[in-house]
Amino acid sequence: MAREGEGWRLAWDAERQPFSVLIGGEGWAVELRDSEALALRDALADLVAQHQALVDQLMAEEAISLELERGAWWLAIDGDRSNWALRVVLSPTDQQRAFEGAWSAQASRAFAVALQQLHGQP
């Protein structure tokens, strides 16, 4: 599976182990293990659901920032009722790598939708 759009990339190849998932933004990319990618997928789905639950309570010009920390992941969305930018941080655990990434408001929603289509074994 490979998907990409303006300012984002997502690719998954089960044959490439241990780093079978590639995510990327404007000018950057990183490979993840299946378990890391699936944890990101689930955490992002929960964060987007939190945003959706608050949309009706926000005025059109009102800004919102939401954060979620789950396991090694920290995620944040910053925006308004209809658009938001995504930032993620993977913290190192037991001699593993770490990274930080971000997507623009134009790319974040499309990346989130594509990530929800990622399947695999947790």
Has residue 35 been placed in a domain?
yes
DSSP-derived pairing of the beta strands 28-32 and 64-70: unpaired
Q: What is the CATH number of the domain that holds 11?
A: 2.30.31.10
Has residue 121 been placed in a domain?
no
Nearest to 5 by CA among 114, 99, 102: 114
Has residue 46 been placed in a domain?
yes
Predicted local confidence at residue 122, as pLDDT: 40
Distances (CA, A) of 45 to 6, 39, 76, 96, 117: 21, 10, 12, 25, 11
Reported pTM:
0.90
- Print pLDDT tens along the chain (122 aa): 889 999 999 999 989 999 999 999 999 999 999 999 999 999 999 999 999 998 888 887 889 999 999 999 999 999 998 889 999 999 987 777 899 999 999 999 999 999 998 875 44
